[in-house]
Amino acid sequence: MKPGSFETHMDLGPKDTVETHLEGVKQPKLDWVNTIFLTSTPIVAIALSWLYFSRHGLEWSQIALAVLFYFITGMSITGGYHRLFAHKTYKANKAVKLMYLLFGAATFQNSALKWAADHRVHHNHVDGDKDPYNINKGFWYAHIGWIFYQEKVIDPKYPKDLLNDKLVMWQHRNYLWLCVTMGFILPTVIGHFLGSALGGFALAGVGRVVFVHHCTFFINSLCHIVGTRPYTDSNTARDSAVMAVFSYGEGYHNYHHYFPTDYRNGIRWFHFDPTKWMIKSLSYVGFTNDLKKVPEKLINQAKLEMQMKKYQNVA
């Protein structure tokens, strides 16, 4: 497998289990559920947050709850949906996988099966017509616009490894009620016991969903426009230390696109990559194992080749 690719065997799943998409659709159809949800939640979050603060003022327990949910749900995407399920960069026990699936659903970013399948297509066809969030179609399309439409998936095959994962398929079948329960009901109940159900729903619920959405979406948009390309210029992915702060370490995107099988995105000790730290920490207690790292020799070789290419272009 060459750097920058994701090699996997993709087979069509059972028709009653896996949604299939047909080629040849001339005009994409607007997905009204996605469109209404993504455009209304920011308005609802602002309105409910204003109502909560006007009634209760600043309560640090509610802020802490929102921050906690921000990290748990967001890192269930980066550590679970992305680095575990989509790229298989390490292995995790069932308890960790279950937590990823529960709190990943709370982000309202689709099931792990669908998310990982879309992401594998992105890596295999980055910047091309088959790329679900192709940056060449514009910033807003790559950021959020692609979700507004029913996707015309040119390769309709889902990964066989995930189809055979009972926990992943359980989440896929029960995705909707898991979203509502984990994303809205749970923070509302916890917020109630902290003094305000409204605060839990507004801040750790709706507001957190919106914030995590755009932190994730910026990887598909900004990290293909702003930043450096120290490892490859064969695609638009870029490294951004700033975006790494907002995306739990996912901002080192040029590295990730060239070496997608590495469980790390930020490879240096000083790179802000809490997802990497979480995965590594869990390995010390046996919850994760087989953490894959690209050999330093290959990393240095990629950087050297890019430096030589830049020198030749200047000369």
* pLDDT the model gives residue 158: 52
**Each residue's pLDDT tens digit, 201-252:** 999 999 999 999 999 999 999 999 999 999 999 999 999 999 999 999 999 9
Q: How far apart are CA 66 and CA 77, in angstroms?
A: 17
Helix axes 60-75, 208-220, angle to 10 degrees: 40
Asked whether residue 156 carries a pLDDT value surpassing 50, the answer given is no
Burial status of residue 90 (CB atoms within 10 A of its CB: 0-12, 13-18, 19 or more): buried
User: What average pLDDT does this structure show over 2-16?
Assistant: 37
Picking from 157, 200, 217, the residue whose alpha carbon sits closest to that of residue 45 is: 200
The answer on pLDDT for 315 being more than 60 is no
Residues 42-101: tens digit of each pLDDT: 999 999 999 999 999 889 999 999 999 999 999 999 999 999 999 999 999 999 999 999
Query: What pLDDT score was predicted for residue 17?
Result: 41
For 191, the token pair is 């917020």
DSSP 220: H
* pLDDT at residue 174, as a whole number: 97
pTM of the model: 0.88
For position 224, what pLDDT does the model report?
Answer: 97
For residue 25, is pLDDT > 90? no
Share of the chain above pLDDT 90, in %: 81
Report the run of H or E that residue 284 belongs to, with start and end: helix 274-284
- Report the run of H or E that residue 158 belongs to, with start and end: strand 158-159
